[in-house]
């Protein structure tokens, strides 16, 4: 195998193009097959971001073995020491935030204010998890028996596989890498093939901060060629996946026969409810940010606006006015609010959904097409449908683009019913000034995240992130819950009575 030191250069990532490599066992290496794939700027497909290893089973196996070997040592490094390395990584992320953000905008399209937010979320997660190095609390608890001591401790799982999406190419890998690291696991990261560079830049920072060779391995490639062998390996104790339901099902089924752990964070069809007593200007600001920010490509995007009929006309007018202020373009240019969508196939899928919405009889009030004046890339106009029925496909299926649906209802009861009448359960929001309505919604909305008087997007790393129903499989990323994902609990009993004490047996 050819080995090289890290060739990646941050200024090149922002403007130039180069051949990037996998990171296996502490070395930057090409795919064994020598195959590569290209990645282009979605705002300008003639701008080549770089070529990346098109890896396959042999590369994945080597990465898993490197991780397995590194685990022997890493699991024994005291967690506060692991945390110290991570604090260094957090500081490097802060130092390079601007360049990382710019490289990410170029790679996946969202505007630089948002890619800065993506890097910031990674910084937050790395610091948050690093701090856990001095906690990672277990519990002590009395025993039923005399002279017996009971406690619980967290133990790492071993090698974990992390499969991450392109829409938050630093934040989401960091939600998985950081807690996995602090808990003492080693890992193989397979990032989305639309955003390998952002992951490479992130992993380089961990390398520079002093994460030992083999602890984090990064293998670029497609889901079928690189993701599949990672899921199939019996040496991989957990797959933590964020992406589509379709692939999530494959992950679940692949890991099920030998009971390997799986965490899934998948789609959303998130509703924002606007009640008649709400601050309508605020609600509409939240809707426009939630629906069209990141070009609607967030799992948490506001893709349904459930509005009380009494304020329907007013809300519609306010949304349309606000939409007129949105500017599409290259996310590094001043004044641009909406970047392109990630690739041509994504654009075509979104445009198809717009046609479906029209055919279903919803009223399209704005947008509806590709925007060619914004550049040569994959730009889709922010699109608003009105008088959408909850049963329509555009109100049920995840579009993952800048399209939202106004659904008029009568009162809170119907609003909650409609909000819940979907297969997903990630994020919901309600705008109201009435505390009774707010708490009723908090109780009854079926979603892992619920916001009152705030948009459906905007999760913070120290709270659990994930959803109910088809959004997930009961696990949560981030927050304290991430520690449970990346640890096994061990209950420990120490009997210092010098006699055989039989629990639960009557004397």
CB 438 within 8 A of CB 430: yes
228 binds ligand UN1 (CB under 6 A): no
Q: Which of residues 286-345 bind ligand UN1 (CB under 6 A)?
A: 298-300
Q: How many residues bind ligand UN1 (CB under 6 A)?
A: 9
Torsion of CA 407, 412, 414, 417, to 10 degrees: 100
43 binds ligand UN1 (CB under 6 A): no
Q: Among this protein's residues, is 265 annotated catalytic? A: yes
475 binds ligand UN1 (CB under 6 A): no
Q: Among this protein's residues, is 299 annotated catalytic? A: yes
Q: Closest CB to ligand UN1 among 156 and 472?
A: 472
Q: Closest CB to ligand UN1 among 203 and 459?
A: 459
458 binds ligand UN1 (CB under 6 A): yes
464 binds ligand UN1 (CB under 6 A): no
Q: Which of residues 54-93 bind ligand UN1 (CB under 6 A)?
A: none
Among residues 22, 36, 41, 167, which is the contact residue for ligand UN1, using CB under 6 A?
167
Q: Closest CB to ligand UN1 among 22 and 105?
A: 105
> Which residue of the set 225, 265, 371, 398 is catalytic?
265
In the complex, the smallest distance separating the C-beta of residue 479 from ligand UN1, rounded to whole angstroms, is: 12
The 8-class DSSP code of residue 18 comes to E
3-state DSSP: the chain helix, strand, coil percent, rounded to 5? Answer: 40, 25, 35
168 binds ligand UN1 (CB under 6 A): yes
Query: 448 vs 24, 474, 496, CA distance in Å?
Result: 35, 10, 44
Among residues 159, 351, 362, 459, which is the contact residue for ligand UN1, using CB under 6 A?
459
457 binds ligand UN1 (CB under 6 A): yes
362 binds ligand UN1 (CB under 6 A): no
125 binds ligand UN1 (CB under 6 A): no
Query: Do the strands 449-452 and 270-274 form a parallel or antiparallel pair, or are they unpaired?
Result: unpaired
482 binds ligand UN1 (CB under 6 A): no
State the burial class of residue 74 (Cβ atoms within 10 Å of its Cβ: 0-12, 13-18, 19+).
buried
In the complex, the smallest distance separating the C-beta of residue 449 from ligand UN1, rounded to whole angstroms, is: 7
Q: Tokens 């809300």 belong to which residue? A: 315
In whole angstroms, give the CA distance from residue 266 to residue 468.
10
State the burial class of residue 440 (Cβ atoms within 10 Å of its Cβ: 0-12, 13-18, 19+).
middle
Pure H helices in 293-367: 312-323, 344-360
In the complex, the smallest distance separating the C-beta of residue 337 from ligand UN1, rounded to whole angstroms, is: 16
* Dihedral (CA of 460, 461, 464, 469) sign: positive
In the complex, the smallest distance separating the C-beta of residue 185 from ligand UN1, rounded to whole angstroms, is: 22
For 264-311, the DSSP string reads EE----EEEEE-TTS-HHHHHHHHHHHHHGGGG-STT-EEEEEEEGGG
Rule CB under 6 A: which residues touch ligand UN1? 121, 167-168, 298-300, 457-459
Q: Which residues are catalytic?
A: 265, 299
């Amino acid at each position: 195998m050819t080995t090289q030191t890290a060739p990646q250069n941050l200024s090149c990532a922002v403007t130039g193009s180069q051949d990037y490599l996998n990171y296996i066992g502490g070395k930057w290496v090409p795919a064994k097959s020598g195959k590569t794939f290209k990645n282009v700027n979605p705002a300008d497909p003639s701008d080549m971001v770089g070529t990346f290893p098109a890896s396959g089973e042999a590369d994945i196996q080597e990465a898993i073995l490197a991780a397995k070997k590194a685990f022997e040592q890493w699991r024994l490094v005291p967690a506060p020491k692991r945390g110290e390395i991570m604090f260094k990584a957090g500081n490097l992320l802060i130092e390079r935030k601007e360049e990382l953000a710019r490289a990410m905008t170029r790679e996946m399209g969202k505007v630089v204010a948002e890619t800065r937010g993506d890097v910031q979320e990674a910084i937050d997660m790395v610091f948050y998890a690093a701090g856990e190095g001095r906690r990672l609390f277990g519990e002590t608890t009395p025993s039923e028996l005399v002279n017996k001591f009971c406690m619980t401790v967290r133990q790492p799982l071993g090698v974990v596989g992390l499969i991450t999406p392109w829409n938050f190419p630093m934040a989401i890998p960091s939600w998985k890498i950081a807690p996995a690291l602090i808990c003492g696991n080693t890992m193989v990261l397979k990032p989305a093939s639309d955003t390998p560079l952002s992951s490479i830049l992130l992993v380089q920072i961990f390398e520079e901060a002093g994460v030992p060779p083999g602890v984090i391995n990064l293998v670029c490639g497609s889901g079928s060629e690189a993701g599949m062998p990672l899921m199939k390996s019996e040496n991989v104790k957990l797959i933590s996946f964020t992406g589509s339901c379709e692939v999530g099902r494959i992950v679940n089924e692949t890991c099920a026969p030998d009971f390997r752990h799986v965490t899934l964070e998948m789609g959303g069809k998130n509703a924002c409810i606007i009640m008649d007593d709400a601050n309508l200007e605020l609600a509409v600001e939240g809707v426009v940010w939630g629906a069209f920010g990141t070009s609607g490509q967030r799992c948490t995007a506001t893709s349904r606006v459930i509005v009380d009929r009494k304020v329907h006309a007013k809300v519609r007018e306010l949304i349309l006015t606000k939409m007129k202020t949105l500017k599409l373009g290259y996310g590094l240019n001043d004044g641009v609010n909406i970047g392109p969508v990630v690739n041509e196939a994504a654009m075509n899928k979104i445009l198809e959904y717009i046609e479906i919405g029209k055919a279903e009889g919803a009223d399209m009030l704005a947008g509806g097409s590709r925007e060619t004046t914004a550049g040569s890339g994959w730009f889709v106009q922010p699109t608003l449908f009105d008088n959408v029925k909850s049963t329509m496909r555009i109100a049920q299926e995840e579009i993952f683009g800048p399209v939202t649906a106004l659904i008029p209802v009568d009162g809170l009861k119907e609003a909650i019913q409609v909000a819940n009448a979907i297969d997903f359960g990630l994020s919901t929001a309600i705008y109201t000034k009435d505390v009774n309505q707010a708490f009723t919604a908090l109780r009854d909305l079926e979603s892992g995240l619920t916001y009152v008087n705030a948009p459906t997007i905007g999760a913070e790393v120290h709270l659990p992130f994930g959803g109910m129903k088809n959004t997930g499989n009961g696990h949560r990323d981030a927050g304290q819950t991430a520690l449970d994902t990346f640890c096994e609990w061990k209950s420990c009993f120490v009997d210092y009575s010098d006699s055989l004490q039989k629990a639960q047996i009557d004397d």
